[in-house]
Amino acid sequence: MKRNKVILVHPGLQYTYRIASALSKSKLFDKVSLYTWFTLSEDSFLSRFPAFKKRAKKIDPKVEIYNFPFFELLLVLYLKVLNVLKINKGHNPRYKMQILFGWFLLPAIYLNRKKSLLVLSETAAWPITFYAKKWHIPVVMDFPSISHEVAMDLGIKETAYGIKLKTKERNCIDYAFNCSAFAADTYKSKTSAKKHFPLWLAAEDKILHVNNKGSNINSINICCLANTEKRKGIDLLIKAFSKIELKEKKLYLIGKISNKWVAEFCIDHHLGDSNIILTGPLMQKDIAAFLLKNRVHLHVLASRFDSFGMVVPETMMLGIPNILSPFVGAAEMLENGVDGFVMDQLNEDALLNCINKFIGLTEAERLTLKNSVLEKAKEMTWENYDLRVKAVFEEILSSIPLKSTSDSDAINVI
């Protein structure tokens, strides 16, 4: 029997609203519902007020949005109390509030169980996944990052509570999608999903811009958009940058990068930092203008892991080639040496080799590269993302049995 309803649950502002819009436009479902804490469509009444501008998103008007801001308010108050008491519980407060939200939604999900499909997000899916299994509602889970096992191996901490929650959730699902094949591989044999689909992200095409001004091949301006140091490979980038033989070179570190960390790193490794410029965080609307004004030639993301890397399509929309580590999901969308560069290993020499390949290009070759980058960027728009979402869910729907217990009149008790 056809699944004519899809229910999406996500308490935050990540990309679930885009999935909801894509599914609404796909016409695969008669009804698309989004249960969240506080997300507004651009044409809603509240979106007119400046205080709510960041909550207003471009959402297909046919998506039915159900907001429950009480949970977000409760979380804010809880975190303030913990802060006053100087208690650090990591992500546990958010996890617990998301679980409370899940319990709250169970009656609504039960009443809408017939002919429905659930789309949930990691750490915001319990106990819904458990009861969905009992009620025979197919569950698709969105995993926004790599598995906690691999993350912990890389030094990213997770609480015991978070590990238990994630493990329970992912063993009650039917399908899953990740923002790259790289991220999906980290969940291999760790979930009950029949299949993990790579679903690459995108960027706004309104910033697409061609700058055909001549490029000074005797200079190099590199940037990195990041908010952490070691995870984003800033250490490797600084070391590689120091080995570039050109006299005219600049490295722009944009984001929440610590001045102190960079200064101490350079001192510890006997490196100069006179050509390293830390801008601090820039407003999203100002980044494109800054990169173009400063004639940035390359964007580097030498991450130790990045499930996707939103900054990749965003910089490509400006015609700026990327150099990516092999552990950046967005690298799967590039053709090495044609519309960007992918390091063959995660070390400073591999990064320097990619930088030198770019430096060795003639002006005509750089222009060809830039045009190839812009051509590839056209595939990275949200319109194409919508098509990828539709293709994934067409396959999911085709593999779901035509009839299940939830489609019958059988009554299950919560």
Q: How does pLDDT run across 20-34, given as a tens digit for each residue?
A: 999 999 999 999 999
Q: d(Cα 227, Cα 282) in Å, to the nearest integer? A: 11
- Is residue 349 one of the residues assigned to a domain? yes
CA 136 remoteness from chain centre: 30
Give the range among 80-84, 120-124, 409-413 with minimum mean pLDDT: 409-413
Q: Are residues 85 and 135 in the same domain?
A: yes
The predicted pLDDT at position 141 comes to 97
Do the bridges between strand 341-342 and strand 219-225 make them parallel or antiparallel, or are there none, so unpaired?
A: unpaired
Contact 319, 380 (CB under 8 A): no
Q: How does pLDDT run across 112-149, given as a tens digit for each residue?
A: 999 999 999 999 999 999 999 999 999 999 999 999 99
Number of domains observed in the structure of the chain: 2
- Is residue 412 one of the residues assigned to a domain? no
Mean pLDDT of the chain: 91
Q: Are residues 283 and 154 in the same domain?
A: no
CA 153 remoteness from chain centre: 20
Give the type of residue at 171: N
- Is residue 110 one of the residues assigned to a domain? yes
Q: d(Cα 58, Cα 10) in Å, to the nearest integer? A: 16
Q: Is the pLDDT of residue 105 over 90?
A: yes
Q: Is the pLDDT of residue 407 over 60?
A: no
In the predicted model, what is the mean pLDDT of residues 171-194?
A: 96
Would you place residue 68 in the very low, low, confident or very high pLDDT band (cuts 50, 70, 90)?
Answer: very high
Long-range CB contacts for residues 1-4, cutoff 8 Å, separation at least 24: 1/115, 1/402, 1/403, 1/404, 1/407, 2/115, 2/397, 3/29, 3/115, 3/116, 3/117, 3/138, 3/397, 3/400, 4/29, 4/30, 4/31, 4/115
Q: Are residues 315 and 176 in the same domain?
A: no
Give the range among 50-59, 212-221, 277-286, 388-397 with minimum mean pLDDT: 212-221
Q: How does pLDDT run across 184-235, given as a tens digit for each residue?
A: 999 999 999 999 999 999 988 755 555 555 566 789 999 999 999 889 999 9
- Is residue 42 one of the residues assigned to a domain? yes
Instruction: Give me the helix-helix angle, 92-111 and 69-84, nearest 10°.
Output: 160
Contact 262, 238 (CB under 8 A): yes
Residue closest to 340 by CA, chosen among 364, 381, 368: 368
The predicted pLDDT at position 218 comes to 84
Q: Are residues 42 and 191 in the same domain?
A: yes
Q: Are residues 295 and 353 in the same domain?
A: yes
Q: Are residues 149 and 119 in the same domain?
A: yes
Measured between alpha carbons, how far is residue 301 from residues 92, 234, 296, 323, 334 in Å?
30, 8, 14, 6, 13
- Is residue 290 one of the residues assigned to a domain? yes
Token pair 């801001």 is at which residue? 69
DSSP lists the bridge partners of residue 223 as: 252, 299
Would you place residue 410 in the very low, low, confident or very high pLDDT band (cuts 50, 70, 90)?
Answer: very low
- Is residue 333 one of the residues assigned to a domain? yes
Which residues lie closer than 8 Å to 399 by C-beta, 6 or more apart?
Answer: 194, 195
Q: Are residues 12 and 123 in the same domain?
A: yes
- Here the CATH number for the domain that contains residue 37 is 3.40.50.2000
DSSP lists the bridge partners of residue 300 as: 323
In the predicted model, what is the mean pLDDT of residues 402-408?
A: 52
Give the type of residue at 180: S
Burial of 51 (0-12, 13-18, 19+ CB in 10 A): exposed
Q: Is the pLDDT of residue 297 over 90?
A: yes
- The whole-model pTM stands at 0.89
Q: d(Cα 73, Cα 70) in Å, to the nearest integer? A: 5
Q: Is the pLDDT of residue 308 over 80?
A: yes
Q: Are residues 236 and 332 in the same domain?
A: yes
The predicted pLDDT at position 367 comes to 93
Residue closest to 381 by CA, chosen among 289, 287, 312, 313: 313
The predicted pLDDT at position 405 comes to 46
The predicted pLDDT at position 14 comes to 79
Q: Are residues 359 and 389 in the same domain?
A: no
Buried b / exposed e across 179-206, counting CB within 10 Å, b at 16+? bbebbbebbeebbbbeebbbbbbbbeee
In the predicted model, what is the mean pLDDT of residues 328-354?
A: 96
Q: Are residues 392 and 253 in the same domain?
A: no
For the chain, the first-to-last Cα distance in angstroms comes to 24
Q: d(Cα 58, Cα 202) in Å, to the nearest integer? A: 14
Burial of 36 (0-12, 13-18, 19+ CB in 10 A): buried
Other CB atoms within 10 A of residue 318 CB? 23
CA 207 remoteness from chain centre: 19
Q: Are residues 97 and 144 in the same domain?
A: yes
- Is residue 275 one of the residues assigned to a domain? yes
Contact 376, 359 (CB under 8 A): no
- Here the tokens at position 340 are 């960007």
Q: d(Cα 330, Cα 309) in Å, to the nearest integer? A: 6
Residue 284: give the domain boundaries: 205-380
- Is residue 414 one of the residues assigned to a domain? no
Q: Are residues 146 and 242 in the same domain?
A: no
CA 337 remoteness from chain centre: 25
